Amino acid sequence: MRATRVWSAAQRPRPTWRGAGIALAGALAMVGAAVLGRVDLLVLGIVLVLLPLAAAIAVTIDRPWISVSRTFESDLVVVGETANVALLVRNEANRKSPGLRWRDACPAPLEASGFSALPQLGEHARASRDRSDSVVVRYSIKAAARGVYDVGPLLLERTDPFGLVRCLYAIGASKPLIVVPRARDLGQAEFELSRSEGYEHELVKHSIPNADELIAREYRPGDPLRRVHWRATARHDKLMVRQEEPRSNPETWVLFDTDQGPHPEHHILHADARNPRFEAAVDLLASIGTHLVAQGFVLGVVETAPIQMLGRAGTGRAGIGGLPVAAYDPPGGGQTLLAGLAGVSQTSKGNADPAGVLSAALRRNPQAVPAFVVVVDGDRDELAAVSALRILCDPAVVFFVGDRPDLREHFERRGWTCVDVAPDDSPEAVWQRAGIRSRTARHG
C-alpha cells in the first residue's frame, strides 16, 4: 500500500503577521492621502506596500544552495515502532547560510516532529578545513500503519531579515520507507505437517540416471583430490569423486485473497480508508508465513488477484515453472515476505486464475504438502474451485476473515479445516485454534 504526497519545488512566499500589518498600514495611508490630499502620506503608503513585495521577491530569488542526503537506521520498520532518520545537510554556496528552520515531509500516517531551527552553515569554500558547511540532524518517525511511504523532500522555511515574508523550499528527493506488518510468535501449534522434500529435490534426483550413484560421480578437471571416492574408483575402474546429495527444504503453499471482490465501488469511494478485515488477513499471513519459513519450509504464495508480492530473484518460483507466484526460502525469506506484505493491497481480479496456479504448484510435489488459504472478499466461484484441491494438501486449512457461509460450505464438504477470524483476533489464537481443529479432524 503505497502512500505519496506531492510537494511543490518552492511554496509561494506568504506574508507574516508583521508583513500583512505593514501592507495594510500602507493601503490605509494611500487612502488617507487620496482623501486629505497629502503627498507625504502617499509616498509613505507606497513604501509600506512595496516593502513586503520586495521581501517576497528577495526570498524567492535568493534560494538557499543546500544539498541533503537521508539515511534510515533500518529500511524496514515494524508497525507501531519508531524509525530513526539522519539527514546530512550541506551548504553548497560560498557564503554562510541564512537563518532556516527545517522538517522532513512525511505523509500520513507517519508522525514526525515539526519545524526546528537549522544551525547556520559555513561557506562551502572552507569545507576542506573545518567542515563547517555540513551538519547532521536527526529525528524520529512513528509508523502507525503498514505501507511504502516516500519520506522527503527536506522542507526549509525562511523569512526575510525584517520578518515580513515567509517562504518554504523543498530540497532533495524523497526516499521510500517500508513499514511492515508485525509478525507474531505463534508458539508450537501441533500441526502434523508433511515434510516432503519438494519439487526441486525431485527435479534434481530424476535428472541423475542412476539414483544409487548420488554420492559418487566421475572425476572432472578441477575437482579437489580430497573428494576422491576410492571405493567407487576401484569398482568402476576410473577416478570417481564424492558428490554431496542435494539439500532442499520441504514446501508449503498459501493462497492469499487479494481480490477486492464484486463490489469495488466501496474501495473507490473510500480509497484512503483501510479495510480492517484485509489488514487482519495481512497480519495473519505475516505471522504464519514467517513462522513456516522459520520452521524450514520454502513458502510459496499465490494471490487471487494479479501478483503484487515478489519473493526470490525473478518472480518467485517462476524460474521453475513460469507460475505467477512468490517464493520465500529459509532462513531469510521471512523478512522478504514482510517487505512484500508492506505494499500489498486489494485490487481487481484481472486475469488471475488462483485455482489453476495453485493446482499446478501442488501437482509438482510427489506427495501432499501443507496448504493454507486466507479468504477475505474474493470471488465465490474462483475460491470454491480451490476447495477441489483438498487431495493435494495435507494439512489443508482455510481462514475466513469475515463471514462467508456459502463459501465455507464448499470447503467443509471437501474436508478442509475451516477457521473463522475476526479483525481483532490475535494471530497466535487463530493459529492455535487451527492446529487443534486440524488435529481433531485428522484423528476423528
Three-state DSSP string of the chain: CEECCCCCCEEEEEECHHHHHHHHHHHHHHHHHHHHCCHHHHHHHHHHHHHHHHHHHHHHHCCCCEEEEEEECCCEEECCCEEEEEEEEEECCCCCCCCEEEEECCCCCEEECCCEEECCCCCHHHHHHHCCCEEEEEEEEEECCCEEEEECCEEEEEECCCCCEEEEEEECCCEEEEEECCCCCCCCCCCCCCCCCCHHHHHHHHCCCCHHHCCEEECCCCCCHHHECHHHHHHHCCCEEECCCCCCCCEEEEEECCECCCCCHHHHHCCCCCCHHHHHHHHHHHHHHHHHHHCCCEEEEEECCCCCCCCCCCCCCHHHHCCCCEEECCCCHHHHHHHHHHCCCCECCCCCCHHHHHHHHHCCCCCCEEEEEEECCCCHHHHHHHHHHHHHEEEEEEEEECCCHHHHHHHHHHCCEEEEECCCCCHHHHHHHHHHHHHHHHHC
CATH number given to 251-443: 3.40.50
Question: Which has the minimum average pLDDT: 31-45, 74-88, 225-239, 305-319?
Answer: 305-319
- The domain limits of the chain are 2-8+63-180, 14-61, 209-242, 251-443
Average pLDDT over residues 162-187: 90
Average pLDDT over residues 385-408: 90
2-8+63-180: CATH class: mainly beta
Mean pLDDT across the chain: 82
Question: What is the per-residue pLDDT across 238-261, written as a single tens digit (0 to 9) for each?
Answer: 888 876 544 456 889 999 999 987
Name the pTM for this structure.
0.76
pLDDT for position 25: 92
